[in-house]
């Protein structure tokens, strides 16, 4: 078990947990939480591969992770704004009831 493998397994598990949360939870915000966890798992993967992979002097992994963080932040903001907006309209964040996309 190389260090890289351990990190990768942790990332995988984190990703699975995040996915589970996104798929299981009823509330929209908690789904967003799950998504954030998935993103972070990906970031972890990136950094781990940068550290243990070839050419770490290129900083590819690091920069990628930084950008990922930035984008995730923006996405979280927009997503939550959307959730609040929907809540204003439908008075609920119960995802099963938000089925305007049906059909």
Partner 1 sequence: MIENLTQSFAPSASVSMAANLLWLIPALPILASGVIALLQQPRRKTSAALAIGALSLSLLLSLFAFAHVVNGWLHGIATREVVNLTWMQSGATNIDLGWILDPLSAAMILMVSFVGLLIFIYSVGYMEHDPNFTRFFCFLSLFAGAMLGVVISNSILLLFMCWEIVGLTSYLLIGFWYQKPSAAAAAKKAFLTTRVGDVFFLLGIVWLFAQSSTLLFYNHGAGSLEPLALASLLHQPAAFGLTAAGAIGLLIFAGAAGKSGQFPLHVWLPDAMEGPTPVSALIHAATMVAAGVYLIARVYPLMAAGALTGGTTTALTAVTWVGAFTAVFAALIAVAQNDIKRILAYSTISQLGYMMAGLGMGGVAVGMFHLITHAFFKALLFMGAGSVIHGSHEEQDIRKMGGLRKLMPLTFLNYAIGMLALCGFPLFFSGFWSKDGILEAAQHWSVAKAPFYMLVFGALLTAFYMTRQVSYVFFGRERGEKPAHESPRVMTVPLAILAFFAIALGAIGTPAWPWFRAFLEGRAANFDWSGFAEPGLLALMGVSTLVVFLGLGLGWALYGNQSPQPEAADVLEKAAPPVWLALRNRLYVDEFYGATVIAFYYQWARFADWLDRRIWGGAVTAVAATFSLGARLNRFLDTNVVDGGFDKGCEELATGGGLLSLVQNGRVQTYLRLLALAVVALIVLLIWSSRA
Partner 2 sequence: MNIAFYVSAVLTLAGALASVLLKNKVHCALALTVAFTGLAFLFLNLNAQFAGFAEIMVYVGAVAILVVFAILLIKGSETPLHGAFSRSWPIGATIAAGIFALLGWAVIESASHLPKNTPTHAVTVDQIGQALVYRYVLPLEVVAILLTVALIGAVIIALHEDGRTQ
Verify binding: residue 35, partner 2, rule CB under 8 A.
no
Given partner 1, partner 2, none, residue 100, with its beta carbon under 5 to 8 Å by kind, binds: partner 1
Residues 62/67/72/75 CA torsion (nearest 10 deg) = -170
CA distance 100 to 84: 16
* Residue 1 makes contact with partner 1 by CB under 8 A: no
- Residue from 17, 22, 66, 73 in contact with partner 1 (CB under 8 A): 22
CA dist., res. 81 & res. 27, Å (int): 14
Partner in contact with 101, chosen from partner 1, partner 2, none, beta carbon below 5 to 8 Å by kind = partner 1
């Amino acid at each position: 078990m190389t260090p890289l493998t351990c990190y990768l397994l942790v990332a995988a598990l984190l990703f699975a947990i995040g996915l589970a949360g996104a798929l299981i939870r009823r509330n929209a915000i908690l789904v967003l939480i799950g998504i954030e966890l998935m993103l972070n798992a990906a970031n972890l993967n990136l950094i781990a591969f940068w550290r243990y992979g070839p050419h770490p002097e290129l900083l590819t992994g690091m920069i990628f992770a930084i950008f990922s963080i930035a984008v995730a932040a923006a996405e979280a903001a927009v997503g939550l704004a959307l959730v609040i907006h929907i809540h204003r309209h439908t008075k609920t964040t119960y995802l099963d009831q938000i089925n305007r996309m049906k059909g």
